[in-house]
């Protein structure tokens, strides 16, 4: 199989949280024999051992827009976005501008690539703003008869009935989901929601982890409790219950965080951000690793996020907030612990910090489960199975 992939970004220095996952997925596709040509929607094209790069035909326009948006957000006070399907005037202007100026550039670029590579089997759009490219999949299919698929890795937070993220686009307003042969998402519960929005069909391919990238390190564990994540959006209650309150209640324990915009984290101290690769070292130095999932994902059944799989691949002892569907991936009480309040978190941390053998056994079982069911090679095979059904 040969795929032409338009990916939101391939630049790990940019603040797109799914980019490391897309690197792992594209690598896994290569490992199972899929040839990939990858073009980034935002930022520079990046060559790798696992895919062939293609240009971003609207790079300077995208960079200019990002600079203007970031400048405006720094200059203007933040306003909460109401949970509504309606677009703001700014969102509407951005979408219409992109459809008028950016979409034609991408249509011509992808048309040329398909002409140069007639053996491409399908196009896959990975979490790009699909309403910016309205009309492009239909035009390409009409000319080249190559099916287009859309993979949304942010369901349900990306959907119109959710508020989305302050740092992101509202991508469904003004989009035509029927242009795509099928939608794929990270969420089991999101499939019906996507079909209600007009998707012809919807399939689930969860996140996973590459166990070669996320492999345990034999380090001394000098951190008691670690939380690694960015932003307080949709999880402030659990940051308080699992980090702020326990760190204040357990002064003898060392709490560390690696992330920005988390608010009051009690006695927890901030670790320096050196690179994404530092996650492995920080997690392996920690006796307990927290998985605090945002409410949007935690409340819709089977809405996967990267962190549980990454931590499991590292053999970490994971303590998580309530997460609808977590039991689909890891067995509570055996491969992961779930707490329901600050009091329960404090008791659980206190117990685990004095029972090293149990901590390590839970981490080992979580990694074994990851290796058996949840690597990105598993996900790549599942994705290929979905695509083949339409070819």
List the CATH number of the domain containing 125: 3.40.50.11930
Does residue 48 sit in the same domain as residue 148?
Answer: yes
Q: Cα separation of 317 and 299, whole Å?
A: 23
Q: Where are the alpha helices (DSSP H) in 78-232?
A: 89-97, 103-116, 136-144, 190-196
Does residue 104 sit in the same domain as residue 203?
Answer: yes
Q: Is 145 part of any domain? A: yes
Q: Is 218 part of any domain? A: no
Does residue 67 sit in the same domain as residue 194?
Answer: yes
Q: Is 213 part of any domain? A: no
Q: Is 366 part of any domain? A: yes
Q: Would you say 28 and 375 are in contact if contact means Cβ atoms under 8 Å apart? A: yes
Q: What does DSSP assign to residue 84?
A: -
Q: Cα separation of 52 and 46, whole Å?
A: 8
Does residue 278 sit in the same domain as residue 359?
Answer: yes
Domain count across the chain? 2
Compute the chain's Rg from CA coordinates. 21
Nearest CA among 103, 229, 227, 230 for reference residue 166: 230
pTM of the predicted model as reported, rounded to 2 decimal places: 0.92
Q: Would you say 369 and 361 are in contact if contact means Cβ atoms under 8 Å apart? A: no
H/E stretch holding 342 reads helix 342-353
Q: Cα separation of 166 and 81, whole Å?
A: 8
Q: What is the pLDDT of residue 99?
A: 78
Does residue 198 sit in the same domain as residue 299?
Answer: no
Does residue 356 sit in the same domain as residue 384?
Answer: no
Q: Is 217 part of any domain? A: no
Q: Would you say 79 and 91 are in contact if contact means Cβ atoms under 8 Å apart? A: no
Q: Which domain holds residue 350?
A: 223-373
Does residue 253 sit in the same domain as residue 291?
Answer: yes
Q: Is 214 part of any domain? A: no
Does residue 102 sit in the same domain as residue 63?
Answer: yes
Does residue 257 sit in the same domain as residue 186?
Answer: no
Domain holding 308: CATH number? 3.40.50.2000
Q: Would you say 340 and 244 are in contact if contact means Cβ atoms under 8 Å apart? A: no
State residue 110 phi and psi, 5-degree precision. -70, -35
Q: What is the pLDDT of residue 320?
A: 98
Q: What is the pLDDT of residue 65?
A: 61
Q: Cα separation of 305 and 318, whole Å?
A: 14
Q: Which residues of the chain have pLDDT under 50?
A: 77-84, 166-167
Does residue 19 sit in the same domain as residue 142?
Answer: yes
Sign of torsion over alpha carbons 38, 32, 156, 77: negative
Does residue 177 sit in the same domain as residue 147?
Answer: yes
Does residue 168 sit in the same domain as residue 21?
Answer: yes
Q: Is 216 part of any domain? A: no
Q: Is 25 part of any domain? A: yes
């Amino acid at each position: 199989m040969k795929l032409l992939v338009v990916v939101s970004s391939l630049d790990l220095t940019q603040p797109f949280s799914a980019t490391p996952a897309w690197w792992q997925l594209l690598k896994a596709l290569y490992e199972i024999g899929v040839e990939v040509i990858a073009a980034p929607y935002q930022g520079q094209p990046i060559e790798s051992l696992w895919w062939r790069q293609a240009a971003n035909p609207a790079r300077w326009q995208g960079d200019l827009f990002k600079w203007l948006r970031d400048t405006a957000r720094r200059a203007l006070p933040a306003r909460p976005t109401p949970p509504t399907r309606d677009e703001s005037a700014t969102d509407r202007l951005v979408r219409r501008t992109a459809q008028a100026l950016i979409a034609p550039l991408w249509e011509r670029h992808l048309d040329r690539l398909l002409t140069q590579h007639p053996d491409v089997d399908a196009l896959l759009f990975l979490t790009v703003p699909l309403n910016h490219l309205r009309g492009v999949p239909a035009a390409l299919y009409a000319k080249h008869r190559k099916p287009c698929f859309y993979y949304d890795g942010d369901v349900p937070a990306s959907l119109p009935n959710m508020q989305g993220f302050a740092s992101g686009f509202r991508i469904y307003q003004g989009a035509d989901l029927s242009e795509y042969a099928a939608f794929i998402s990270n969420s089991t519960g999101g499939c019906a929601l996507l079909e209600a929005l007009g998707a012809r069909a919807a399939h689930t391919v969860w996140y996973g982890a590459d166990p070669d990238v996320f492999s345990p390190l034999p380090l001394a564990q000098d951190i008691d409790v670690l939380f690694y994540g960015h932003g307080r959006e949709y999880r402030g209650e659990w940051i308080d219950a699992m980090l702020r309150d326990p760190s204040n209640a357990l002064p003898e324990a060392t709490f560390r965080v690696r992330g920005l915009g988390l608010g009051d984290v009690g006695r927890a101290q901030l670790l320096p951000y050196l690179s994404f690769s530092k996650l492995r070292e920080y997690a392996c130095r920690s006796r307990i690793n927290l998985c605090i999932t945002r409410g949007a994902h935690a409340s819709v059944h089977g809405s996967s996020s990267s962190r549980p799989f990454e931590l499991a691949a590292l053999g970490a002892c994971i303590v998580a907030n309530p997460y609808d569907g977590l039991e689909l991936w890891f067995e509570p009480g055996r491969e992961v612990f779930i707490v329901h309040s600050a009091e329960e978190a404090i008791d659980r941390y206190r117990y685990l910090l004095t029972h090293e053998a149990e901590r390590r056994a839970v981490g080992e079982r979580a990694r074994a489960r990851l290796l058996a069911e949840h690597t990105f090679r598993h996900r790549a095979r599942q994705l290929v199975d979905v695509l083949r059904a339409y070819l």
